[in-house]
Structure formats: C-alpha cells, structure tokens
Amino acid sequence: MKEIAEQLFPLGVVVGTHGLRGDLKVRPLTPDSRSLLTAAQVFFRDKGGRLRSLEPARAVPQKGNVLLRLRGMETIEAAQTLVGNEVLMRYVDLPDLDDDEFYWYQLEGLKVVDRTRGELGVLAELLVTGAHDIYVVNGRFGEVMVPAVSPFVVDIDLESGQMTVDLPEGLVSETDEV
C-alpha cells in the first residue's frame, strides 16, 4: 500500500457519523469540492498512518459536509471506527476540470510573476473565503495576498510552472520589498 500512499490526494476528514445506517460526515478540505461525490474508491488513513481502501455506496452534500456511506460499513458501529480518519482518493481518479480550473496541488509551488513588478515569489497557500479564494505568495515582498479572480490572475501555465498576475495598485510597492 506504500506506493498508493504517494499517489493519494487528501479530500477531507471524517468528523462524525450521521444516522444509523453508517453514514460518515466528511468535512472537505476545500469547501466547494465535489470530488468525493463521484469517487469510485476512497482511502482512509488513521492517526497511525495505516491506509484502508473502501468503496462508496452513496455520497451526498449536506450543510458544507459530505455524507458518505461505504459498502460493507452500513452500521453506525462500523462507521464510528473511521471517525478522525483522513479521507483520500487517487490523483488519477479525480474528476476532470474545465480548462480554466485547477486543483490546488497543481498550483502550489508555482512561481508567481506580476506584469509590472516581475517575480513576486512562490504560491504557498490558498485561503478560501466567502467571496473568492485568495492566493498567498511568499517572496521578495513578504507575504502577498492575490485575489484568485480573473482581473488579477492573468495566466496559469502549468508546463512552465508559472502564474502571471496583474496586482491592483497599492497591494505592494517597491518600498515593501524585504
């Protein structure tokens, strides 16, 4: 199972159970993620690092979480054994995205270049907010927060490993350089 562990994508955490039929309450790492709803196979990693592969029987969104029922685990007692486990799936099983959409694992570590200021640094973190996501870039201006919306994100080129942005005036200035 070790080779599989290196190919897994973290989706969320089992935060509890729901009902008597073994539904797990999974809190997705990315609030708008739909990957778990279409998964044919999911993996669970316990606190000791042990992996277990199971097949979903049902997955439905519910109040920001996903209710997940697994084949062979249709009782509350069976489901409770997975509470606290990390939920993962294989990268190759992730649903395809539209051309202008990306998974975070594809973006993390990209070099970020502003059209006027040049290289800003490396994309280090994604903050999910109610209005829109925010990319956190660490580099020569310290920590720069770039709104993840089309007026500011001009281009993402995964092959070259670069994101081009057009920062709004006043977000950083040349005197902010660290």
Ordered per-residue pLDDT tens for the chain, 178 residues: 445 556 888 889 999 999 888 999 999 887 777 888 888 899 999 999 999 999 999 999 998 899 999 999 989 999 999 999 999 998 888 888 888 888 888 899 999 999 999 999 999 998 888 788 899 999 999 999 999 999 999 999 999 999 999 998 877 766 666 5
CATH number reported for the structural domain that contains residue 142 in this entry: 2.30.30.240
Q: What are phi and psi of 48, to 5 degrees?
A: -85, -5
pLDDT at residue 14 in the model: 97
Query: Does any domain span residue 99?
Result: no
Q: Which domain holds residue 124?
A: 104-176
The pTM score is 0.69
pLDDT at residue 1 in the model: 46
Question: 138 and 89 in one domain?
Answer: no
Question: 108 and 38 in one domain?
Answer: no
| Residue 57 burial (10 A CB sphere; 0-12, 13-18, 19+) | middle
Question: 75 and 9 in one domain?
Answer: yes
